[in-house]
Chains A and B, each alone.
Chain A
Amino acid sequence: MANKQKKNPIVLFIHKTGSPEYFYKLSGRFLPWLIAITTILTAWGLYQALYVVPPDYQQSESYRILFIHVPSAWMSMFIYAAMAVMAFIALVWRIKVAEICAMASAPIGAAFTFITLCTGALWGKPMWGAYWVWDARMTSELVLLFIYLGIIALYRSIDDRRAAARVASIMALVGLVNLPIIHYSVEWWTTLHQGQTIRLTGPSSIDASMLPPLIIMAVATKTYFIAAMLANARNMLIEQDRNKSWVRRLIGDAP
């Protein structure tokens, strides 16, 4: 190409990472750093959350599960948005790496949604006296989990990996349009039925001392997601491309 030097560096970066081989090598360089950052941040955040921060004046020690629950809840939605963006890119530009990254995100998102529901139930037992209450946010989180599971199941039930990724990507986008509708319909449903709804987040105005561990954990879950997604995507990529020359070169099977 004659105008190679003129190319925007960002566009160039996107074009390069669209190549499976380049993506594999680049992500392999990032991965150890991401894992290290995640480990340090998680250890630091959990230490802050479990030992440093004083107990809550109302909920005493049991509120500490919030430092896992709230970042997980944020991630359950953040990952869906990230997955939908990658699914959109995969469908419009047919980039294989984007397809794989979107599909690699789904199980991680489902796991965070599951953690959110479990920690919420564990917190709900001492606070509300029940593991499960039909609160608006809990219900829409549960529906979100089913949508994640549906996407994963759809992806796994088609043999052709690329077609499976495209079909599941469409499902992810359909879910993206539906999620706000589900969320607001559930919210309206509970407010109509129960009158005063119990808010899921205990303290409405959070104490300043509780904020640092929450932010650390929020960042740690983000880096964890990127690391886990890349690791997952790398595995899926070499499995899918196992007959391509770049993978054979990688494993020393071809000259």
Chain B
Amino acid sequence: MRAGSAQVLMAMIWRDLRLAMRRRGQLAHPLLFLTLITVLFPLALGPDPKQLGAIAVGIIWVGALVAVTMTLSDLYRSDRDDGWLEQLMVSGHPMVLVAIGRSFSHWLTTGLPLLLLTPLFASFLNMPEQLLSTLLLSLLLGTPTLSLIGNIVAALTVGIGRSGFLVGLLVLPLYVPVLLFAAGAVNAQAGGLSPDAHLLMLAAIATLAATLTPWATAAALRTSLSSN
């Protein structure tokens, strides 16, 4: 008897999370990376709190984009190498389930930890405290889109060795709207305006991404797998 789609999805997410917990060191890589970025900027720009506070949002968001990008090239690599993806493709379960499950587990292991550590980065950079809630909200609405779009690119490049720069070249232009609206929300708040419009746009983009990207990821996985 075949398991239902919901069961398969839950099993996949559960598997991803267990694998992530067994490789705890890798889990910390994006966080360490972003911490280093937030340390390097004050070193380069000088410790003036006012100047740092003004550009803190930009540093955190750009750092988050790059940190997420760096996790993408390994997202499907080991599953392709050990044949897991191929087995799944011949099993008859829709590849869309892999795309949805992997996007969600990727967000849980990358976007969410970044979100939880952001108060630390914000205080490193002397960001005004009243902006923190908006920044966290923008990360909450924006990082799922990063995982969803990132999954497409990860699936497209799964057959390519040493794809780090290529992944960056492909994915960062697609991240531009998220960056604009997320940083725009916080900057609007800083300028005394309501950040709601920007946050709603972020939510709209996240909804659109959640609806469309799994199909693109599934198509990309099928294409990448059938080629070799």
> Residues of A with Cβ closer than 8 Å to B?
91, 143, 146-147, 149-150, 153-154, 157-158, 160, 162-164, 166-167, 170-171, 173-175, 177-178, 181-182, 185-186, 188-189, 192
**How distant is the Cα of A174 from the Cα of B215 in the complex, in angstroms?**
11
Name the one of B174, B205, B227 contacting A158, with C-beta atoms under 8 angstroms.
B227
* Inter-chain CB contacts under 8 Å: number: 84
> Which residues 142-195 of B have a CB within 8 angstroms of A?
152-153, 156-157, 159-160, 163, 166, 169-170, 172-174, 176-177, 180-181, 184, 188
**How distant is the Cα of A231 from the Cα of B95 in the complex, in angstroms?**
38
Q: How far in angstroms is the closest Cβ of chain A from B131?
A: 17
**How distant is the Cα of A147 from the Cα of B159 in the complex, in angstroms?**
20
On chain A, the residues within 8 Å of B207 by CB distance are none
**How distant is the Cα of A158 from the Cα of B157 in the complex, in angstroms?**
9
Q: Does B212 contact A (CB under 8 A)?
A: yes
Instruction: Using A163-B226, A192-B184 as known contacts, say yes or no to A158 and B172 having CB atoms under 8 A apart.
Output: no
**How distant is the Cα of A76 from the Cα of B159 in the complex, in angstroms?**
30
10 A-B interface contacts by CB (under 8 A): A157-B157, A160-B228, A163-B227, A167-B224, A170-B216, A170-B223, A171-B153, A171-B170, A174-B174, A186-B176
Q: How far in angstroms is the closest Cβ of chain B from A172?
A: 11
Q: Does B220 contact A (CB under 8 A)?
A: yes
Q: Does B219 contact A (CB under 8 A)?
A: yes
**How distant is the Cα of A177 from the Cα of B208 in the complex, in angstroms?**
10
On chain B, the residues within 8 Å of A185 by CB distance are 176-177, 180-181, 201
Instruction: Using A149-B169, A167-B227, A185-B181 as known contacts, say yes or no to A154 and B152 having CB atoms under 8 A apart.
Output: no
> Residues of B with Cβ closer than 8 Å to A?
152-153, 156-157, 159-160, 163, 166, 169-170, 172-174, 176-177, 180-181, 184, 188, 201, 205, 208, 212, 216, 219-220, 223-224, 226-228
Q: How far in angstroms is the closest Cβ of chain A from B195?
A: 11
On chain A, the residues within 8 Å of B176 by CB distance are 143, 182, 185-186
On chain B, the residues within 8 Å of A150 by CB distance are 166, 169-170, 173
Contact between A160 and B227 (Cβ–Cβ < 8 Å)? Answer: yes
Instruction: Using A174-B216, A177-B212 as known contacts, say yes or no to A166 and B173 having CB atoms under 8 A apart.
Output: no
Contact between B160 and A157 (Cβ–Cβ < 8 Å)? Answer: yes
Name the one of B157, B174, B201 contacting A175, with C-beta atoms under 8 angstroms.
B174
**How distant is the Cα of A182 from the Cα of B216 in the complex, in angstroms?**
18
On chain B, the residues within 8 Å of A170 by CB distance are 152, 156, 216, 219-220, 223
